[in-house]
Amino acid sequence: MSLHKALVQWDGKSKDTIIEIYHRFYQGREFIAQLLKLSTDVTTQAGATWLLKHHLENNPRSKVNEKTFFMQLFAELQPQAKLHLLQCLPYVNISKAHKKPLEVCLKQALVDDSKDIRVWAYNGFNELALSHHEYRQQADAILVDALGQESASIKTRVRNIIKELSILERD
């Protein structure tokens, strides 16, 4: 069975099944490229992006072709797939060439109806500022604004980001 077929057959809910799919297919040099390609297909994008996130979380030295990654990020994705890609940002090196497109994407995500997408967009701005210091002031302002206008659950995550920044600044 191919990775595509396995993702099409996945019910979109069973974590055990998607982890089983991961263990069946994650080896191989083309795994990340396959996942990025499958993330463009509406029938497989939620599973493909979940697998990408899972892979990067468990293999932080993995490389993502960021040009492809950002093209996927800007594509018309289902909310679940967009969330997964935002969750991948801590594992992606953000080059100078891609910082502006990422900023645009993150600004769009900050006004999304989904609280999960918004909270990960706040985290994404922080990741952008960690990679490119010229974004630090803008990211800090966005985080502070969130404390005044977002729901309690988002404020909690934003406070954690700010707390982590305070620790980083002391080191």
> Model's pTM, two decimal places?
0.80
Structure tokens at 119: 């909270």
By C-alpha distance, which of 71, 115, 117, 107 is closest to 92?
Answer: 71
Has residue 170 got a pLDDT over 60?
no
Structure tokens at 72: 């996927």
pLDDT tens column, 85-124? 899 888 888 888 888 888 988 999 999 999 999 999 999 9
Place of tokens 């993995």: 62
Query: Using CA atoms, how far apart are residues 113 and 124, in angstroms rounded to an integer?
Result: 17
* Residue pair 85/68 in contact by the 8 Å Cβ criterion: no
Place of tokens 């206008």: 149
